[in-house]
Amino acid sequence: MEQISVTLINMDAVVTQAYTLIEDAEDYIVIDKGPGVNLHRNESAQSLVDVLNSDFAGAAMHLVHRLDDATSGLLLLAKNPAAAAELGALFANREIEKFYLAIADGKPSKKQGTVIGDIKKSRSGSYLLSRTRSNPSVTQFFSYSLGMGRRAYLLKPHTGKTHQLRVVMKSLGVAILGDRRYGPSTQDSDRMYLHATALRFTFRGEVREYVSLPLRGELFVNGDGGLAAALLDCEAPWVLEWPRLN
């Protein structure tokens, strides 16, 4: 597999079924997880962590953050307990910047801005966005027209609540394309169009920046127009002038 450090625009990356290796550092790895790949065993015989432990002999991979199974993109795993504690603290203290790319159909309630609110569990077992702010989720976003009533979204979550971006998109009136929990359960889509596209953080005195554009999904791979603009912004999304935090 090709190992690429610092920043990757992954048009030339080597892709496996489960993941693409972005960087193999001394204390951690960064991968691009494929859509539909499970982090935990759950009902499956093997998890992504099992695969990685097999592929990286001598390392005991530690998850320091999560992606939903249906979500693709950048995932950071520590190779040892000390690094896991350090990286986990960075996530807990919100010192790691995360950026996502999504696609949705329909007209959103607003085309850019900040969404703040508590995320609460509903009776159905899913989650919903509340107007209360006792322990709120915070998400900034831009959107880009793709034509034919479809838009691409560049999202920056400042918190890490369960299903946060999926719930936020639903609250805007435009569930993520392919999200059968928060959108139509019968919709025809080749994947859920949510991709973790960038990470930026400081680890042991060095700034680490990673960008990985989506490689799977017809609309991600063959999109143009507004999607091309969104992908261009993803090359360095931390330099954008993001909407104000209310």
106 Rama class: left (phi>0) / alpha (psi -120 to 50) / beta:
left
Distance between CA atoms of residues 59 and 52, nearest Å: 9
Q: What are phi and psi of 84, to 5 degrees?
A: -60, -40
Residue 68 bears catalytic tag: yes
SS3 label, residue 75:
strand
Q: Which residues contact 206 (CB under 8 A, 6 or more apart)?
A: none
List C-alpha distances in Å: 246 to 142, 163, 174, 219.
Answer: 15, 21, 22, 32
Distance between CA atoms of residues 37 and 75, nearest Å: 12
Residue length, the chain?
246
Distance between CA atoms of residues 231 and 132, nearest Å: 33
* Choice among 32, 68, 179, 233 that is catalytic: 68
Distance between CA atoms of residues 10 and 29, nearest Å: 16
Q: Is 202 exposed, middle or buried (0-12, 13-18, 19+ CB in 10 A)?
A: exposed
**Inter-residue contact 220 to 103 (CB < 8 Å):** yes
Distance between CA atoms of residues 66 and 28, nearest Å: 15
Tokens of 113: 């801005």
Residues with a known catalytic role = 68
